[in-house]
Chain A
């Protein structure tokens, strides 16, 4: 997050040692916060340290985190997608309609992910193809996608899903490890490799740091951005499959407000909202932090909307602290 304020770029004479740099990194700091919350929760509630309860708690964040991985890449590249929650609603509506028509589980999954892909392509076309600002475009498509769900469903709901469809949101791979949690880990690894170990990942960073230079280095900026929107759409589709399967029903208001939580997760994970910096590891830890906070507060009978105060505070404070710390350092 060191380049949120890029007014002064200080290049030190000597870099700190590898361990000291690692210890001062955002990810380690965040990990410390996660541990603190974990310890606090286990003292605050006797029901916290229970394998099944903890397993249930993962559902608080797995679906959002899957989108957050793709969103992290998008934000690092200097764009944003506020329509992800609306894509979930539209994909869920498409799956619901297909399920009423008697389509089986594999077909439903294909339809859910396919809808996400199409929505992502539409966003990508507008942002990368027509070079429009992603923040307004996706505010528009957010209304559009969810609006289509409202036109289709109105005040109705779809509820008749095949029994085998329930596995994605309710099934367990082994012991307490749910299918969703395993999927979350698989995607964490996949996106980690994509961002940190491939040419594509380097290109994402370069575009976020200096789009102009990226273009001059021969990076197909528009194509990379288009792919990132596609990926985000697909991940929203995957999340929609999981969420719909978990809830077993579809309403047009499904996943309302999730775009904010996904963005919070990404920013909390140390991804610079201005682009160019961030890691998948940070997002993974941020997902755990948010999951632990909401779960711990839930055990203490704090209502959901009050939890959102904590999430909002978490977002602002985590960004403000490093900035204030640097100010103090500069003053002394």
Chain B
């Protein structure tokens, strides 16, 4: 039992299930499969961004520019679609991922080559990217009637009962799991965050690993830019303002250590779903949507407290110093 409680994924699943059960006593049909699918679809973008954020956090970095990257890329794609309605959607998606990856590469390069602390770099680029979204659009909006029907409808199209948006999230979850647990890059990411010194001795290029992590995070933010603009059918400078904190929150709740090296894809996904369930439940159970911010704040603080206790126990002294032994004996 104790072991089960210590497993973050199982614990979170139980908490989310309890929450859904609790909410459904207040609101009929909250636990209906259709509604749960809706919640998942609604949380898809957060899941995608949280996985990018997780990759970066694993390497002992943080990417605060994801939401600004999303806003810029979303604006760029929406404007391109409005100006050239004939361009195929696939090209626009490639463009979104490309722009996002490029913006991520700027972050990664500054961290890798100049060794500027990631929090400083991404604080700076956060304001720069969002400012660029303003420069690009001149402060204007791209509205639904300016976007093409394919551009708007593809993420909503149902395939096997779920919208394509949900399927994209599922594919990316599987992809992230494969990359982080089965490929050398994943191992390098865990190693360079968990123990940088040992990683260097093992022949891992930490700087390069961080660079790739930022590129991955940027590419996912770019893709999310298209998905966001298409889902909400509008693009303006302030879309997803402050969303970077939600991605960090999802990671922290999911048990990804902010100190790097600890965390699983399942944890990040469940952390995002946890926030998604709360967000969707508040209006249903009659709590003001304005309370959402405070609730996620409390949840983050509690999750950090919980994480710290779990991580402290994880440490194990392999080589015991004799002096210490004598004292403790």
Contact = CB atoms under 8 A, between A and B. Distances in A.
Interface in A126-144: 126, 130-133, 135-137, 139-144
Most buried by B among A132, A133, A136, A308: A136
Contacts of A126: 301, 304-305
Nearest to A147: B294
Given A151-B290, A308-B127, A135 B119 contact: yes
Contacts of B27: none
A143 B121 contact: no
Given A308-B128, A316-B110, 10 more contacts: A4-B116, A135-B62, A136-B300, A141-B301, A147-B293, A147-B295, A150-B294, A264-B124, A273-B120, A312-B128
B297 A315 contact: no
Interface stretch (A12-20, A54-62, A202-210, A319-327): A319-327
Interface in B191-249: 237, 245, 248-249
B120 to A, nearest CB: 5
Given A132-B305, A315-B124, A5 B115 contact: yes
A238 B248 CA distance: 29
A154 B132 CA distance: 30
B248 to A, nearest CB: 6
Interface of B: 62, 110, 114-117, 119-121, 123-128, 130-132, 134-135, 139, 237, 245, 248-249, 252, 258-259, 288, 290-301, 303-305, 308
A151 B294 contact: yes
B293 A313 contact: no
Given A130-B305, A151-B291, A303-B134, A312 B125 contact: yes
A305 interface: yes
Contacts of B116: 4, 316, 319-320, 323
Interface string A143-155: 1111110110111
B64 to A, nearest CB: 9
A311 interface: yes
Given A4-B115, A154-B288, A313 B297 contact: no
Nearest to A153: B290
A274 interface: yes
Contact of B294 (A148, A267, A306, A324): A148
Contacts of B124: 264, 312-313, 315-316
B130 A4 contact: no
Contacts of A135: 62, 119, 258
B130 A305 contact: yes
Contact of A139 (B128, B248, B290): B248
Given A143-B249, A144-B294, A308 B301 contact: no
Q: How large is the interface on A (under 10, 10 to 19, 20 to 34, 35 or more residues)?
A: 35 or more
A313 B128 contact: yes
A99 interface: no
A130 B128 CA distance: 35
Contact of A136 (B110, B237, B258, B295): B258
Nearest to B309: A130
Contacts of B308: 130-133
A30 B267 CA distance: 45
Contacts of B248: 136, 139
A292 B125 CA distance: 21
A315 B120 contact: yes
Nearest to A131: B308
B200 to A, nearest CB: 11
Contacts of A323: 114-116
18 contacts: A132-B304, A136-B248, A140-B299, A140-B301, A140-B304, A141-B301, A143-B249, A147-B292, A147-B295, A150-B293, A151-B294, A260-B123, A264-B124, A273-B120, A274-B117, A306-B135, A308-B130, A323-B116
A323 B116 CA distance: 9
A312 B120 contact: no
Interface string A293-331: 000000000010111110111011001100110000000
A263 interface: yes
Contacts of A143: 245, 249, 293-294, 296-297, 300
A140 B300 contact: yes
A290 to B, nearest CB: 12
B288 A305 contact: no
Contacts of A131: 308
A155 B290 CA distance: 9
A260 B295 contact: no
B135 A141 contact: no
Nearest to A267: B120
B288 A133 contact: no
Contacts of A312: 123-128, 131
Nearest to B237: A305
A309 B304 contact: no
Given A5-B115, A143-B297, A273-B117, A150 B304 contact: no
A130 B299 CA distance: 16
Most buried by B among A252, A309, A311: A309
A142 B298 CA distance: 10
A240 B1 CA distance: 49
